[in-house]
Amino acid sequence: MRITLRRLIASWMVLLTLAAATFAQAAEKEHILGPGDMIKVSVYQNADLTLETRISELGQISFPLIGTVTVGGLSVPAAEQKIAKALRDGGFVLKPQVNVSLLQVRSAQISILGQVGKPGRYPIETVNSKVSEMIAAAGGVVPGAADVVTVVGTRNGKQVKFDIDLPAILQSGKTELDAVVVNGDILYVDRAPMVYIYGEVQRPGAFRLERGMTVMQALAQGGGLTQRGTERGVRIHRRDPNGAISIIQPKMNDMVERDDVIYIRESVF
């Protein structure tokens, strides 16, 4: 009997924990109404009170019968309760059932910077807009841009910074990696990582570092070795996080890293 009671208590604790987590997640995603948001207000069995309107710069709307109502700074449920109370207190509707639908979000904005077609500030016009959608709204990434979008913002009251892999989302279909943007986010697209090749190669210069690029592939970008070049003479100058430069004698299948400088010596024979 004691074992059964303990199991029952444990089960209830698990359910309460899951319920609390679900509630916290929902509360985090709950939109706060603000100036520019487009909403639809309807009252059950009162079709003449249906209204589609945009919230003013003062956070207000003008609603039939009750006049000006300040809804800016309120969640959708709180706005519903406020309008319902005004209708009830004014004696206009006995038991009002008010529904507020968010049609367009313009009070929330993000900044998109870096290597995109049209950098600037953009409104989050639909709830749960994703990073890839906002990058598309900014004209997409330009030639020479990196594949990764860096997101800086606030989640759960804490500053966060994370990267979004666009090719994984758009080419590999991993849509679960596409994060939802929130008000105040900064999206930054850096320049593509580069690798630098000089010495005994056909076309020395700076080249885009492709994913998983090996030393052999990097040398191919430079047109291959000259007749005087030798694989044994390949050296990589690589800077560590502290700024110190080390010289590496790589194998042809070793991976190249961002900002590596590859030098090919002349053969002594």
Give tens-digit pLDDT for 160-187.
Answer: 999 999 999 988 888 888 999 988 999 9
The residue assigned the tokens 């519903």 is 80
The answer as to whether 7 is a domain residue is: no
Q: 128 lies in a domain?
A: yes
On average, the pLDDT of the chain sits at 87
Share of the chain above pLDDT 70, in %: 88
Q: What is the mean pLDDT of residues 132-142?
A: 94
Instruction: Compute the distance between CA of residue 71 and CA of residue 90 in angstroms, rounded to an integer.
Output: 18
Decide if 32 is inside a domain: no
**Are residues 258 and 200 located together in one domain of the fold?**
yes
Residue 2 falls inside a structural domain: no
- pLDDT-based confidence at residue 206 (cuts at 50, 70, 90): very high
> Using one digit for the tens of pLDDT, what is the confidence trace for 74-89?
999 999 999 999 999 9
Q: Is 127 contained in some domain?
A: yes
pLDDT-derived band at 14, boundaries 50, 70, 90: very low
Residue 181's CATH number: 3.10.560.10
Which pLDDT value is given to residue 269? 60
* Domain assignment of residue 141, given as a range: 109-191
Q: What pLDDT score was predicted for residue 6?
A: 56
Q: How many domains does the chain have?
A: 3
Residues 205 and 253 in one domain: yes
pLDDT, average across residues 22-40: 67
pLDDT digits (tens, 9 = 90+) for 61-71: 999 999 999 99
- Residue 58 inside a domain? The answer is yes
Looking up residue 52, the CATH number of its domain turns out to be 3.30.1950.10
Among 128, 160, 191, the domain boundary falls at: 191
Task: Verify that 131 and 71 share a domain, yes or no.
Answer: no
Residue 18 has pLDDT above 60, yes or no: no
Q: Do 114 and 185 belong to one domain?
A: yes
Residues 45, 98: Cα–Cα separation, whole Å: 10
In a domain, 99, yes or no: yes
DSSP string of 183-248, one letter each residue: TT-EEEEEEPPEEEEEESBSS-EEEE--TT-BHHHHHHHTT-B-TTEEEEEEEEEEE-TTS-EEEE
Question: What is the token pair recorded at 32?
Answer: 């706060």
Q: Higher confidence at residue 9 or residue 143? A: 143
Residue 20 lies in a domain: no
Stronger pLDDT, 25 or 240, i.e. the higher one: 240
Q: Are residues 86 and 97 in the same domain?
A: yes
| Same domain membership, residue 181 and residue 143 | yes
Whether 161 and 200 map to the same domain: the answer is no
Alpha helices in 47-193, H assignment, sequence order: 76-89, 131-137, 166-170
Whether residues 125 and 136 share a domain: the answer is yes
C-alpha closest to that of 39 among 84, 105, 91: 105
Which of 171, 191, 211 corresponds to the end of one domain?
Answer: 191
Among 154, 169, 191, where does a domain finish? Answer: 191
Average of per-residue pLDDT across 183-211? 94
